[in-house]
Amino acid sequence: MFKSAAPGLIYLLFYSVRNVQMSVDQEAQDDELLALASIYDEEEFRRAESGREGEIHLCLELPPDFKLLVSGETCVEYQVSFLPPLVLSFELPVNYPSSSAPVFTLSSKWISRLQLTSLCRRLDELWEEYKGSVVLFTWIQFLKEEALVFLGLQSPLEIFINSSKHSQLERGRTDGAAKRVESAGAEKKSSSELDPRAVLEAEPHADLLRQLLDFDEAQRQKVFDSKVFCCGICFSEKLGSGCVLFKECQHVYCRACIKEFFQIQIRDGKVQCLTCPEPKCTSVATPSQVKLLVGEDEFARYDRLLLQNSLDLMADIVYCPRTSCCMAVMLEPNATMGLCPSCRYAFCTLCKRAYHGLSHCPPTVQELSNLQEEYLAGSEEEKKFLEQRFGKQVIQRAIEESFSMKWMEENSKNCPRCGCHIQKIQGCNKMTCSSCQQFFCWVCLAPLSRVNPYGHFNNPSSPCFNLLFQGVEHEEEAWSDED
């Protein structure tokens, strides 16, 4: 009877021990997952509803001044603080950790499959070392803190830009010497060596450099948002999420102060003055920063004025002279005709009037009167422009007329009746206009009576009393002295 009962007893004992072990494993799993959930936030650690599956996003700890070296036609270095995470996806077997290791995959956007295979094998080795104990936290610590050293990847991490303008990770550098990292072609040749748990998430034609820089920027912003800063204007302490960082100078101000500062500058049309408020600092706000702070109407005005200022600096851009249009017009090299793409108005780019073909620009009265002064005072470049615009003959005539007008202003007077220029060579101050025969006084230019023209000089109440021969006497004295 005892002998027949022994197998059943052993069977019951086996299952009893098994159930106890399963209970211990389940408790260990729950404790481990609970600990991970308390250490890492939801973005880093995600647990499935079943409780046995999850994934951990691990951002590697980069040393200070870690750089990406972009190789191609030229070499450019970028300083980064963060790289896209390694993703450890796992599923816990029923008999973990007593007997079986977690089932896992390890994926990345920037580490090659051969390197991921090396990491997978190292995780297997760690399991063998800690077999019988929970191992997820040990794996996480290794991947976060030792993966770069394990793979021999140090600053600068090289990114290769190929001819199709896409980027891919080419090699890292250790102790100043280049260490080759296997390319996709090498991976195909050694596909038998690749671990199926190693997953490369990068798309074949994705721009890896852009992905790395975008991730680094996002993580920097996340860290900035969580810090506390003192505004340099109102001196109040606020979280980075409520502040603005000028990237060139790293000065920080609260959004409320910078918003008011930007709004005033935009209303005044000073869109080039949206700089850091720090005295003598020349850091300029980016359009994306301005858009986040001001309203839609203000940003539209800012965008329009910024575009206009940029166009004003371009030598091959002019504006349509029609006030109802004012569209920017791009010019052909060495062309003097502009054709507005909006209103189709053809105009001369020199004088801004209707296009007049190869003929020189007809000067206005005001332009003609100022032409001599502008031409004589201008540089060689300015003189060439005026000659191209008006022609040399027009300029020469303007100069001659200007000199004639200047001589007449200095040596003649205008008839008070017809305005004709009169030059006095000799004789008394009673003048007769050669054009209209009007008598007038040379001293005060008053018209004189035809009946008694000399009464003007004999009348004691006249301003020219006894001035009939003013100036003549001096000439006669000069002649007598010479004699």
Q: Which of 273, 428, 441, 444 is catalytic?
A: 428
Yes or no: say if 195 and 117 are a contact pair by the CB < 8 Å rule.
Answer: yes
Peptide bond into 97 cis (omega under 30): yes
> 364 Cβ partners below 8 Å, 6+ apart?
none
Helix (H, G, I), strand (E, B) or coil at 117: helix
Whole-angstrom distance, CA of residue 151 vs CA of residue 198? 15
Residues 108, 202: Cα–Cα separation, whole Å: 7
DSSP 81: S
Structure tokens at 129: 């070392």
CB crowding 120-129: b at 16 or more within 10 Å, else e: bebbeebbee
Burial class (CB in 10 A: 0-12, 13-18, 19+), 205: exposed
Of the candidates 235, 196, 12, 167, the one whose C-alpha atom is nearest the C-alpha of residue 107 is 196
Q: Examine the residue annotation and report whether 348 is marked as an active-site residue of this protein.
A: no
Task: Give the integer Cα–Cα distance in Å for 419 and 413.
Answer: 9
Contact 159, 68 (CB under 8 A): yes
Q: How far apart are CA 257 and CA 250, in angstroms?
A: 16
Judge contact between 400 and 368, C-beta under 8 A.
Answer: no
Nearest to 136 by CA among 41, 24, 250, 58: 58
**Residues noted as catalytic:** 428
